Amino acid sequence: MTSPTRSPPAFRAPSSRLLAAVGCVAIGLLLAGCEQKTAATAPPARVVRTEVVKLSERRQSITLTGDVQARVLADLSFRVSGRVTERLVEVGAHVKAGQLLAKIDPAEQQADLDSAEAAVAAAESQVKVATSNFNRQQTLISSGFTTRATFDQAQETLRTAEGSLEAAKAQRDTAKDALTFTELRADASGTITARNIEVGQVAQAAQSVFTLAHDGDRDAVIDVYEAALSLKFDDTKVALALLSDPSVTAKGTVREVSPTIDPKSGTVRVKISIENPPPEMTLGSAVSATGFIKPEQRIVLPWSALTAAGKTPAVWLVNAANKTVSLKPIKIEDYETGAIVVSAGLQPGDRVVTDGGKLLSVGQQITFNEETRS
């Protein structure tokens, strides 16, 4: 007996209510997933260090180096030309006023003196003859045995002879002076700082032979770059120190500023008078000179606060209301060791990030200690 065949159940489409319920569940799961993803990708608040911007007194100083020089430097030279026969001092020697330094061959000057002496002797002889003739004519004219013309001629001859004698004596004095000029002597006490001749060399008149640094006042000579001269210094006092031994110090006063700029170095030579120079500050000693600029109120931040907005220097500015950060462009007046001096872009009372700003982004929330040193 054959069992009856069963047909498969007919497919029934899901109802609209079921579809709506399933759709709502799917949409809810999708939104929940989006919320979880958004919450997972939201950047956390970063912990940073901040400071409150304020004005502080900024006292700058400029230190440059130079050397010690004499207030008076004299170039000594012979007043006549000749071959050098003796050189009696070396560079570094201390000499006294009137001390003999060098000699040149006096043969020419001695010959001129001998010639002048002979001329004086001849002139004196002429004066004697003219005087005798004048006296005789004076006696004769008083007796009426000579003419007025002869008497006048005798008188004129005497006057001419006397004038020739005076000229010969003057020439002799000049020759004597020229002979003394063959010896070069120090015009003051001091130290020889340069020598430009050797024995056997022909020295020309007025050629520099020695440079003499006179004893007495001393100057520190500094070559200062031009921009430093426009700064407003606290006063004219300068702190000086010996480079080889900084414990040796002195005070100085700006005495002279050169009106011209060295075309090669672009510097201006400044001479500083040393007050009571210590014995260790000898001629040629290298010294440092420190000048202090008048204090100014400026905003100074640590270098770690500096970042950039494109190619412009900037800092991270903190919004105190919602504790978010934004980039604030600034202008920098000067870079110092470990700090920057801000000339524009910030106001006293602003709070800026000084540490931890490398990974910040605009609008990011931060966490900081309200008691952070300002």
Q: What are phi and psi of 306, to 5 degrees?
A: -80, 130
Quick check: 313 pLDDT over 60? yes
Burial of 34-70, coded b for 16+ CB within 10 Å and e otherwise, reads eeeeeeeeeeeebebbbbebeeeebebeeebebebbb
**Inter-axis angle of helices 107-143 and 148-180, to 10 degrees?**
160
pLDDT for the residue numbered 29: 47
- Residue 3: pLDDT band (50, 70, 90) is very low
Average pLDDT over residues 111-126: 94
Average pLDDT over residues 163-190: 94
- Residue 215: pLDDT band (50, 70, 90) is very high
Q: What is the dihedral of CA 78, 81, 87, 89, to 10 degrees?
A: 20
Average pLDDT over residues 346-369: 86
Average pLDDT over residues 83-100: 94
- pLDDT top residue among 369 and 346: 346
Percent of the chain residues topping a pLDDT of 90: 53
Rounded-to-integer distance, Cα 65 and Cα 222, Å: 6
pLDDT for the residue numbered 374: 41
Question: How distant is the alpha carbon of residue 329 from its chain centre?
Answer: 35
Instruction: Say if residues 243 and 220 touch (Cβ distance below 8 Å).
Output: no
- Residue 39: pLDDT band (50, 70, 90) is very low
Nearest to 196 by CA among 20, 76, 67: 76
Quick check: 91 pLDDT over 80? yes
Give me the chain's average pLDDT, please: 85
- Residue 222: pLDDT band (50, 70, 90) is very high
Quick check: 271 pLDDT over 50? yes
In 10 A of CB 372, how many CB atoms? Answer: 14
Average pLDDT over residues 292-301: 84
- Residue 4: pLDDT band (50, 70, 90) is very low
Rounded-to-integer distance, Cα 323 and Cα 360, Å: 13
Q: Which 8-state DSSP code applies to residue 255?
A: E
Average pLDDT over residues 260-281: 92
Average pLDDT over residues 177-190: 94
Instruction: Say if residues 346 and 50 touch (Cβ distance below 8 Å).
Output: no
Rounded-to-integer distance, Cα 340 and Cα 342, Å: 6
Element containing residue 23 per DSSP (H, E):
helix 16-41
Average pLDDT over residues 251-259: 91
pLDDT for the residue numbered 359: 81
pLDDT for the residue numbered 146: 84
- pLDDT top residue among 144 and 280: 280
Percent of the chain residues topping a pLDDT of 70: 86
Phi-psi region of 115 (alpha: psi -120 to 50; beta: other; left: phi over 0): alpha
pLDDT for the residue numbered 287: 96
Quick check: 324 pLDDT over 80? yes
Quick check: 17 pLDDT over 70? no
Average pLDDT over residues 6-32: 48
pTM for the structure as a whole: 0.59
pLDDT for the residue numbered 22: 44
- CA angle, residues 333, 335, 337, in degrees to nearest 5: 150
Quick check: 267 pLDDT over 60? yes
pLDDT for the residue numbered 370: 62
pLDDT for 189-211, tens place per residue?
999 999 999 999 999 999 999 99
- pLDDT top residue among 358 and 25: 358
When mean pLDDT is compared across 140-154, 221-235, 306-320, 325-339, the lowest value belongs to 221-235
Instruction: Say if residues 22 and 28 touch (Cβ distance below 8 Å).
Output: no
pLDDT for the residue numbered 223: 94
Rounded-to-integer distance, Cα 295 and Cα 209, Å: 50
User: Partners of 326 in the beta sheet?
Assistant: 317
User: Residue type for 209, please?
Assistant: V
Look up residue 339 and give its two tokens. Answer: 């700090």
User: Within 13 Å and on the Cβ side, how many CA atoms surround 187?
Assistant: 13
Long-range contacts of 150-158 (CB under 8 A, 24+ apart): 154/130, 157/130, 157/133, 158/127, 158/130, 158/131, 158/133, 158/134
